[in-house]
Amino acid sequence: MTANNSSQKQWHTLSPLSIIYFVIHFIVRFVKDGLLNMAPAFVIFLTQVEDKLYWGIVAAAGLSVLLIVYAVLYYLNFRYKLTDHEVILRKGVFKKERVTLNFAKIQNINLAIPFYFQPFQLVKCTFDAAGSAQQEVALPGIKSQLAQVMRQNVFSYKESHTTANMPTADDEQNTVSEKPILTLTNKEVAKFGLMSGMMFLVLAAIAPFIEHVVDYSKDQFVGPLAAFYGGFIDSQDVAMIVAAVSVVAAMVFLFVAASVLGAFLRFYNFELYFENEKLKRISGLLERHQMSLSKSKIQTVEIKKNWVGMLLNRYIVSCKQVENGHCGKAKKGQAFILPVLTYAQLMNAMTLCWQTVDLKRIAFTPISGAFWRKNWALFCVLPSTIVVGFVYNTSGVFAWPLWLAVLIVTAFMCWLRCKRYGIYSDGEQVFVRTGFVGKTVSVFYIHKIQKISYTQTPLMKRAKLVTLTIQLASGRVRVPYLPEALVLPMVDEALYKAESSNLGWL
Amino acid sequence: MFSNSQISEQTIPKLAQLDFAPLDTYATREALISTFVFVLPISIVVFCVAMFAAKAPNHILMMIGGGLALLNTYIAWLMHAIVKSTGVALREHDLVLKRGVFWKKTTAVPFNRIQHIETHRNPVERKLGLSSIKFFTAGGMGADLELNGLSVERASRMRQYILSKEQHHDSE
């Protein structure tokens, strides 16, 4: 330990500015975890409450006061200390918590600098115990210099207690001075905003209130706009249509802008580093967030090119870690996302985080066409026939042109979905292709399977087809209607590899 | 010393050629009792509601009664068929389960992927001397493999065998 050995054995407090961090942190946690639970209350508020603006302001003000009081109490109760071999944390307002993290368990020490910490040389220091069930320790609002000293002490301890064949964590130290292997321009980050589908999430969120939104828009925007356009357009009907189109266009623009803003908040000034078999990403507008991932911890790499990505010719790569909460040996990890990559960048990224592979040359085995025919017959032809029959029976109208159009469109959709499915295995890694309009290719090592199963119905058995399901620590992969002759040897080989390989799955 | 001898594809054990052992004799009885503890009261309540609360005419009541009787018979047949179709195979390195009447599913879990094992005994199982085992891997949120209708002794033996294999793997 260094000169301030004695002071490190005392309890320390954070900077009062950490209250801002706690406020933002609790808001983010509320949005992520609590918003869905609050949905019924929102529905009641929007549908039942008369004076929405007044009560909305009252509720927002009440919640804000509660949040600030809680953040201040959290700050006052937050204490940490470093001994010569562990970091200890005391926190909590109603539920007191004490976290002890041994230096030997620390994998990474990540430093993030939110914009409100920057003028005061403060940082958020996170001791990451990835790969074990230990909790991580985050210290928001400590002096940058102190964080560096703590980091150095931890690495010195690890160095002196690490045997030669164990991985060390000190590869973190030099990466900031290294040149990034990938950076993204603002234009590319904006493209990710379009690809991310966040606007559809917003649309899905407002779906239950769509009637209110439409009524409110009609009263507040379409009516006044139609009156305004009436000054230039003679026909009142045409003015109404133009006003409605303007409002819809403005809403679409707002959704797109929200998606792009979300992408900037997350991936602004994106920098990717690779050193000592570790990927490290630094990005973010308000908070420079740093995320590291060991190559060996990647369970699955998912390469996505959705319909917007097809138009822009860009790919999104997600490196998935263990996703499971009840796994004793592993801690749940976030997906490490590399957004908006060109094909050349994708190839480089694959070489870094996986192995060299040319996705365009993979000879995927397609699934049987019986899959789309079954789906079409069962989920499209049968229900539409019942509906058409019911309408004919009750009103005497036989809407055959509409029925025919529905059948043709759904047949094409079912065929397209079937066409996207494909699987390829070289005996070491497995590539699975899925999708609808766009495509997603998932690749994983066959020895990392957790469970494998295949399913057959009597009709599938007659056609010698099976549905293959592979459970990985990062999620489940399912490919329907594959040839039996392909799947059965693949299952045997996967089990053989999982059971005989000396390579770990974690 | 490092060795890298070639493995013939023909020597890799084949899942499709396994002999599966059936469940215990009382497994069907347990499945039927556990299911009809819920299904039968619901059927009776539906019939009573139609008869007393909705005051349905006799021919409708007969249709509802007939439909419920058919449904209960079908469920009984299905439970019986599911138990009969279930088979377990223990190998040196994995556990294989086949199950299903219409959707026949074969699932294999390597021992070296099992995180923990849970043993359960509900009141019916306790009465019939049966036990259930759940196997958890790092994949999925619930149990990856669940075996019901095993005798207590067989479940215990199976659990011990798998745990010993796990320990053997961990020590390697």
Query: Mutate which of B113, B114, B134, B169 to disrupt the A interface (most A C-beta within 10 Å)?
Result: B113
pLDDT at A9: 62
Tens digits of per-residue pLDDT, A348-388?
888 888 888 888 889 999 999 999 999 999 999 999 999 99
Which residues, listed in sequence order, are joined to residue A425 by a DSSP beta bridge?
Answer: A430
Give the pLDDT score at A198: 64
- The answer on pLDDT for A324 being more than 60 is no
**Residue-wise pLDDT tens digits, A249-260:** 888 888 888 888
First-to-last alpha carbon distance for chain A, in angstroms, is 33
Q: How far apart are CA A350 and CA A358, in angstroms?
A: 9
**Percent with pLDDT over 90 in chain A:** 29
Cβ contacts of B138 on chain A, cutoff 8 Å: 322, 324, 327, 329-330, 450, 473, 505-506
pLDDT digits 0-9 by tens, A441-489:
999 999 999 999 999 999 999 999 999 999 998 889 999 999 999 999 9
Question: With bands split at pLDDT 50, 70 and 90, how would you rate the model's confidence at A32?
Answer: low
Chain B residues in contact with A332 by the CB 8 A cut-off are none
Please report the pLDDT score of residue A170 as a whole number: 41
Q: Which residues of B touch A453 (CB under 8 A)?
A: 105-108
Tally Cβ neighbours within 10 Å of residue B120: 13
Confidence of residue A174 (pLDDT cuts 50, 70, 90): very low
Beta carbons of B138 and A330 less than 8 Å apart? yes
Confidence at residue B19, expressed as pLDDT on a 0 to 100 scale: 86
Task: With beta carbons less than 8 A apart as the criterion, state whether A55 and A45 touch.
Answer: yes
Rounded to a whole number of angstroms, the distance from the CA of B121 to the nearest CA of chain A is: 22
CB within 8 Å of A73: residues ≥ 6 apart: A93
Nearest to A285 by CA among A260, A318, A317: A260
Beta-carbon contacts of B106 under 8 Å, excluding residues fewer than 6 positions away, are A453, A454, A455, B15, B96, B97, B98
- Chain A positions in Cβ-Cβ contact with residue B7 (cut-off 8 Å): 496
Phi first, then psi: give them for residue B9, nearest 5 degrees. -60, -30
Chain A's closest residue to B108, CA to CA, is A452
Question: In which element (H, E) is residue A341 found?
Answer: strand A336-341
Q: Check residue A52 and give its pLDDT.
A: 76
Q: Which of B16, B100, B138 sits opposite A327 (nearest CB)?
A: B138
Identify the CA nearest to A346 among candidates A305, A307, A387, A291: A305
pLDDT of residue A164 exceeding 50? no
What are the C-alpha distances in Å from B22 to residues B28, B80, B144? 11, 13, 20
Q: What is the mean pLDDT of chain A?
A: 83
pLDDT per 10-residue tile (average), chain B, 172 residues: 62 79 92 93 93 85 94 95 93 91 93 86 90 84 86 90 75 58
Lowest mean pLDDT among A67-76, A284-293, A335-344: A284-293
Q: How high is the pLDDT of residue A135? A: 54
pLDDT digits (tens, 9 = 90+) for A394-409: 988 888 899 999 999 9
Q: Does B137 contact A489 at a Cβ distance shorter than 8 Å?
A: no
pLDDT band at residue A115, thresholds of 50, 70 and 90? confident
Q: Is the pLDDT of residue A171 over 70?
A: no
- Mean pLDDT across A97-115: 78
Q: What is the CA radius of gyration of chain B?
A: 22
CA-nearest residue of chain A to B9?
A493
* Chain A residues closer than 8 Å to B108 by CB: 451-453, 491, 495
Q: Which class for B33: exposed (0-12), middle (13-18), buried (19 or more C-beta within 10 A)?
A: middle
Among B96, B101, B91, B83, smallest CA distance to B22 is for B83
Q: Which pTM does this prediction carry?
A: 0.73
pLDDT of A134 > 60? The answer is no
